[in-house]
Amino acid sequence: MAKNRILSTLLSVMLLTPLIKVRAIEIPASKPRKGIEFDRNLNLRNYEVEQVEELIKVEFKKRKKIELEEQKKREIEEQKLENKKQYWKFEVSYYCGCYYCTQNGNLITASGEYAQEGVTIALPQDIPFGSKVHIDDVGDFIVQDRGGYIEYTYDEEGNLIMRADVYIENHDRALELGRHIESGYIIIN
């Protein structure tokens, strides 16, 4: 009974710690330790130690297999996300909630959400609301708005460019930031 308890404890400790070499040690009876009693007749036989080592190897292989499966799942999810990305060149402009920028002074977007700096972006009508947008050197946004000027255009080389209007709270800053071309991507919702 004591032998099984000790083997069980030894196995538990081994499974919770990194893989280590198991060996039997002799504990002198002359040095009792506080709170621990040792059975002087306990002799771990080599085959018992080998059984414990084999159990540890099996557990290590199981854990390694689980880790590899989880890593593969993460890679598949990353690939799925990468496949959803549509890369674009954006002609970025900025607007605020004033009457001049919105023609009505209303902060409610075409999707029904309140416009928020750092969140709201207006894209062409074929891009669904809720789609995520990343524009280099500008930020990450969610498509929540539309606009009469927000459409597709072409650059000097004839490449298709998507116009994007980024909501910010300050009109002077919107004018100051102006209009510029940036690369980025959309993840369609």
Per residue in 82-91, pLDDT (tens digit) is: 778 889 999 9
Is 90 exceeded by the pLDDT of residue 189? Answer: no
Closest to 141 measured CA to CA, from 161, 125, 117, 160: 117
Residues 89, 180, single domain; the answer is yes
Residues 131, 90, single domain; the answer is yes
d(CA 155, CA 180): 12
Residues 87, 63, single domain; the answer is no
d(CA 52, CA 137): 57
154 close to 181: Cβ distance less than 8 angstroms: no
Q: Establish if 77 belongs to a structural domain.
A: no
The pLDDT of 35-56, averaged and rounded, is 60
**Structural domain boundaries enclosing 147:** 82-187
Q: Establish if 72 belongs to a structural domain.
A: no
Distance of CA 38 to the CA centre of its chain: 50
Closest to 135 measured CA to CA, from 112, 162, 159: 162
Please, where are the H alpha helices in the chain?
A: 2-16, 46-84, 99-102, 171-177
Residues 55, 91, single domain; the answer is no
pTM: 0.60
Sort strands 132-135 and 180-187 into parallel, antiparallel or unpaired.
antiparallel
Domain count, the chain: 2
Find tokens 């946004």 and name the residue. Answer: 141
Confidence of residue 11 (pLDDT cuts 50, 70, 90): low
Which is more confident, 47 or 106? 106
Confidence of residue 4 (pLDDT cuts 50, 70, 90): low
Confidence of residue 24 (pLDDT cuts 50, 70, 90): very low
Residue 12 is predicted with a pLDDT of 61
Q: Establish if 74 belongs to a structural domain.
A: no
